[in-house]
A and B are shown apart, each in its own frame.
Chain A
């Protein structure tokens, strides 16, 4: 009786899609981040309204970068410039960019 729910939970967990996203191609990512550097490549560059620094994205974690770019692509995360960038990216582009960015170090 108590085992059945446990088994159901175990089954559910093991059948959930693997959280770790498949990595992309870092070399391809390097050429695809050209546009990103227009804002994220200028130390101290600020978003105009409201006024805050655009984040440091080099060295950021891979899965988080994939999530962020995907959310911009779908419009779930709101930012006009990043929404436009996200829309232009394929899932492969996102993986390549995230692979390159996550491999950077200060």
Chain B
């Protein structure tokens, strides 16, 4: 009885500790990233301001965005076309690659609001 409770607890802990967005493979992501570069820049810092900069963005946020484009929850005709054929693994790899790029121009707002 006690043992089954303990195993249940351990299972619950393992499930909770497993990140929803596992980190992908950077090199595999790089190989898939060529089409992205046309808009998001060769270095992931899109020069055209209508496209977001991806270099140094959180990998799990990038995965979330690609999944939303793939499912159609987030609507963008260009991204829908690119996201549709991607597997979960492709998405994880692409996100890992862009998150890993050096020279990120992105920052959080820590210390950057009025009164800071």
Contact = CB atoms under 8 A, between A and B. Distances in A.
Interface of A: 19-20, 30-31, 33-34, 36-37, 40-43, 45, 50-64, 67-68, 76-78, 101-102, 104-106
Contacts of B19: 51
B114 interface: yes
Given A52-B58, A78-B74, A67 B106 contact: no
A27 to B, nearest CB: 9
A20 B21 CA distance: 34
A103 to B, nearest CB: 10
B114 A55 contact: no
A59 B113 contact: no
Interface of B: 19-21, 46, 48-53, 56-58, 60-61, 63-64, 68, 73-75, 104-115
A56 B51 contact: no
Nearest to A55: B61
Contact of A56 (B46, B48, B57, B73): B57
Nearest to B52: A64
A16 B85 CA distance: 31
A50 to B, nearest CB: 5
A54 B101 CA distance: 18
Contacts of A41: 108-113
A59 B109 contact: no
Contacts of A102: 49
Given A34-B114, A50-B20, A77 B108 contact: no
Contacts of A68: 52
Sorted from nearest, which 3 A-B pairs have the closest CB atoms?
A: A53-B58, A41-B109, A52-B60
Given A41-B108, A61-B50, A105-B105, A56 B114 contact: no
